[in-house]
Amino acid sequence: MHSIGESKITKILDKSSANVPLWREYNVNHLTRTYPAGVRVNSSNYNPTLAWSVGCQLVALNFQTNDSNMLMNDGRFKENGGCGYVLKPANVMGEEPGESLFKSGMKLKIR
């Protein structure tokens, strides 16, 4: 698991365009949390779409501030019946669009 501040996300992705697919690939099998910069003493929020677009699973925001970025977050997680969970798009999961998440012939062993 990686925990990355908002400023580092931008720095990594701005450094090289080749980092975008590499980070998406990493997030297919690993957990990444992003969080607001510590200099946000007024509890404002950063735009979560960049972190979502590269597959970050946990995008922390300052819930005490009801700004446009928090409203975007609320809307994103209401789109699945309000359950608070949204599946990643196929391209972030490392699959081709339309490809099944569950491969045929997969066996699950339960002990």
pLDDT digits (tens, 9 = 90+) for 24-62: 888 888 999 999 988 888 899 999 999 998 889 999 999
Q: Residue 9 in contact with residue 50, Cβ under 8 Å?
A: yes
Q: Residue 9 in contact with residue 34, Cβ under 8 Å?
A: yes
- 15-27 average pLDDT score: 88
In angstroms, the CA 38 to CA 83 distance is: 30
pLDDT for 85: 79
In angstroms, the CA 55 to CA 88 distance is: 7
Residue 101 pLDDT greater than 50, yes or no: no
Entry pTM: 0.75
- At position 56, the amino acid (one-letter code) is C
Q: Residue 98 in contact with residue 90, Cβ under 8 Å?
A: yes
